[in-house]
Amino acid sequence: MWTIFCAALLIASMAEAKPRTDVTVSGISAGGSMASQLHLAFSSEISGCGIVAGPPYYCAQGSMMTAIGACMRGPATSVSVSNIQNKLKSYVTSGSADSTANVKDDPVYIFTGKNDGTVIPGVAKISEQLYSPLGANIKTNYNLPANHGFPTENFGGKCEVLSSANYINNCNFNLAYDMLNHLFDGNLVKPPSGTAVPLSGQFIAFDQAAFMNPKNVARSDSRATDILSLWSNWMQTTMALYNPLTYLPSLNLPTLTLPGMTLPGSTGGVTGASSSNAGYGFDSQGYVYFPSACSQGKKCPIHVALHGCKQGKSFIGDVFAKKTGYLEVAELNDIIVLFPQVLQSSLNPQNPNGCFDWWGYGSTNYANKLGPQMVGIKKMVDTVRGINTASAAK
């Protein structure tokens, strides 16, 4: 009887297994490097990381030439793992990165395609060398014959060909699920192949500056104390309009814009300064998906998904957010997905391809807690968490 009870308890605990914290992160290419930067700098709060076709943490060491040279084209032997490890240790010692002891047992997913000529596999695999000594729970995927891009089950260019239109490859493989399933301890529901998942949540375009500084946002609704309560009220009112028995949105999700719209139940919108003018490289808007359950009172974990170069809103709109498979996995498993967006720019900062900062174009602190983009994304996560917490408390 005791054996049966223990077995039942083990099964129950496996079913309830969750990441160590409520935040995980992933990204492709430059976004993959940024994902590892966020994980290692904020490891007390971020408990899982997916790196898709990306150079390892601090590979560029503050040099654009190193970034476009050794960190992309190799050879892998020209990248000093010990230098990277020493830099991370110095950040931990100074307090600009959390203790690497937090990373022990954290799920980490590393992908590189066999045909990737942009960030060669040998360089991408260095992430495994960095995370292994930290005791991370690593899953690697090195055998797909993919070129540089985000593999999906049914969208994008040919798997083995570089798809410069959006850097998304149709490889007949759901990488978003495979990666998130590892980050969530192997307990996620998989989207069925060949069947569309009804996306009945809310896909929202939001003002990134407002989400990075929610208390400083100018408002015209005197009944709302800040953007958190305003959007919480809006979410509640909007979802109440939908009858779950008759409302079944198509996969062509509408994009709701906040701020700059009149919200139900309010006398006006919310305004905030354009985040692209803040000098951090962010676009004015980002995207977030609230699955239906998370919009209606359930407290949900947050996953941050970071686009690669030439994949942001200024290049391909919301294609990366809507076509890579994140939303379907999120809807079936009640995971909020945040899609920060970086803007292409020629000066201040010099970032013509719209990449997240993984070589120091915005700050010498780009890979630690003091980096402007690191701080900005962290604040966005905190705002989304606040909105979800307020909704769950009602």
Distance CA 203, CA 222 (A): 26
Task: Output the CA–CA distances (angstroms, integers) from residue 83 to 55, 95, 309, in the order listed.
Answer: 15, 18, 25
Residues with active-site annotation: 29, 116, 148
Distance CA 340, CA 285 (A): 8
Distance CA 120, CA 312 (A): 22
Distance CA 98, CA 53 (A): 25
Q: Which residues contact 337 (CB under 8 A, 6 or more apart)?
A: 288, 289, 302, 303, 304, 305, 321, 326, 327, 330
Residue 275 backbone class (left: φ over 0; alpha: ψ -120 to 50; beta: rest): alpha
DSSP helix/strand/coil, 293: helix
Prior bond of 259 cis (ω within 30°): yes
Task: Output the CA–CA distances (angstroms, integers) from residue 393 to 41, 223, 265, 297, in the order listed.
Answer: 30, 19, 19, 7
Evaluate whether 284 touches 274 at the Cβ level (below 8 Å): yes
Q: Which two tokens stand for residue 61?
A: 């060491």
C-alpha 244: how far from chain center: 28
Say how many C-beta atoms besides its own lie within 10 A of residue 9's C-beta.
Answer: 10
Q: Which two tokens stand for residue 123?
A: 């360089």
Evaluate whether 204 touches 255 at the Cβ level (below 8 Å): yes
Task: Determine whether 200 is exposed, middle or buried from the number of CB atoms within 10 Å of its CB (0-12, 13-18, 19+).
Answer: middle
DSSP helix/strand/coil, 117: coil
